[in-house]
Amino acid sequence: MKIENVNQLRELYENPKGRTLKKELAALDKHCKHFLSLSPFMVISSFSSNGEMDASPRGGLPGFAKILNDQQIIIPDAKGNNRLDSLRNIVETGQVGTLFLIPGIDETLRLNGSAEIRTDQHYLDLFSEEKNPPKTCILINVTTVFLHCAKALMRSDLWKDTYKVDPKDLPTMGQMLKDQLQSDTPPESREEMIKRYQNDL
């Protein structure tokens, strides 16, 4: 049976209660700020005016997402592939959802809000020490933020070696792209790719 409405969903699931609802905040508190200061990785989700969706990984040194105040954070648009999927979506709809992770910690931080692409020099200067300083920054105005429970990461054993894959057991990115693009060009080796990427970090 296809679920058609929320009432049908609620027939299967209990209503959330207690701290599950109360933990949602409208601004950053000391624990959210501390979590952000330790996080080197996030996923940012966005959508276009046509409803096309995107989820993009972002990373840097712990604390790469800078806290401006209780309501705002800013992240650099680090050098990437120039597709601009997230940036284009933000320009069109101005809304994002984010998930921050800390290696070794099973809890995550969910932060949602409105977003802007900024080129103000005082924002760019926050990331001037980067090897490749960003051309733009993403300013996020917090509307909701809360700590998410550990169950998903516990189920996946994400920080353990339980399901760790030997790189030799997966085709290289070069080989996968060669197959997907049906290219006649010899595939780039993993070592060649890593060496090329090192210049763009």
Q: Is residue 8 part of a domain?
A: no
pLDDT of 16 > 90? The answer is: no
pLDDT (0 to 100) of residue 30: 98
Give tens-digit pLDDT for 153-201.
Answer: 999 999 999 999 999 999 999 999 999 999 999 999 999 999 888 888 8
183 and 144 in a single domain? The answer is: no
Give me the mean pLDDT over the 127-135 stretch.
91
Give me the mean pLDDT over the 48-69 stretch.
97
Q: How many domains does the chain have?
A: 2
- When pLDDT is cut at 50, 70 and 90, the band that residue 9 belongs to is very high
pLDDT (0 to 100) of residue 19: 83
pLDDT (0 to 100) of residue 52: 96
Q: Is residue 29 part of a domain?
A: yes
pLDDT (0 to 100) of residue 43: 98
119 and 187 in a single domain? The answer is: no
174 and 84 in a single domain? The answer is: no
117 and 30 in a single domain? The answer is: yes
Range of the domain at 53: 19-156
CA distance 86 to 29: 27
Give the residue carrying structure tokens 């990331």.
127
pTM: 0.94
Q: Is residue 140 part of a domain?
A: yes
46 and 90 in a single domain? The answer is: yes
pLDDT (0 to 100) of residue 116: 98
- When pLDDT is cut at 50, 70 and 90, the band that residue 18 belongs to is confident
Q: Is residue 161 part of a domain?
A: no
Give me the mean pLDDT over the 52-81 stretch.
96
91 and 51 in a single domain? The answer is: yes
Between 19-23, 121-125, 140-144, the lowest mean confidence (pLDDT) is in 19-23
SS3 of residue 25 by DSSP? strand
49 and 105 in a single domain? The answer is: yes
140 and 185 in a single domain? The answer is: no
CA distance 127 to 124: 6
Give me the mean pLDDT over the 42-69 stretch.
97
pLDDT (0 to 100) of residue 21: 82
pLDDT (0 to 100) of residue 20: 81
Q: Is residue 23 part of a domain?
A: yes
Instruction: Kindly tell me the number of DSSP H helices and DSSP E strands found in the chain.
Output: 8, 7
109 and 191 in a single domain? The answer is: no
Give tens-digit pLDDT for 75-116.
Answer: 999 988 899 999 999 999 999 999 999 999 999 999 999 999
Q: Which residues contact 95 (CB under 8 A, 6 or more apart)?
A: 46, 47, 112, 113, 114, 115
192 and 149 in a single domain? The answer is: no
pLDDT (0 to 100) of residue 15: 87
186 and 99 in a single domain? The answer is: no
Q: Is residue 4 part of a domain?
A: no
36 and 55 in a single domain? The answer is: yes
Choice between 200 and 150, residue whose per-residue pLDDT is larger: 150
What beta strand segments (E) does the chain contain?
Answer: 41-47, 53-59, 66-69, 72-76, 95-101, 108-118, 137-148
CATH number of domain containing 54: 2.30.110.10
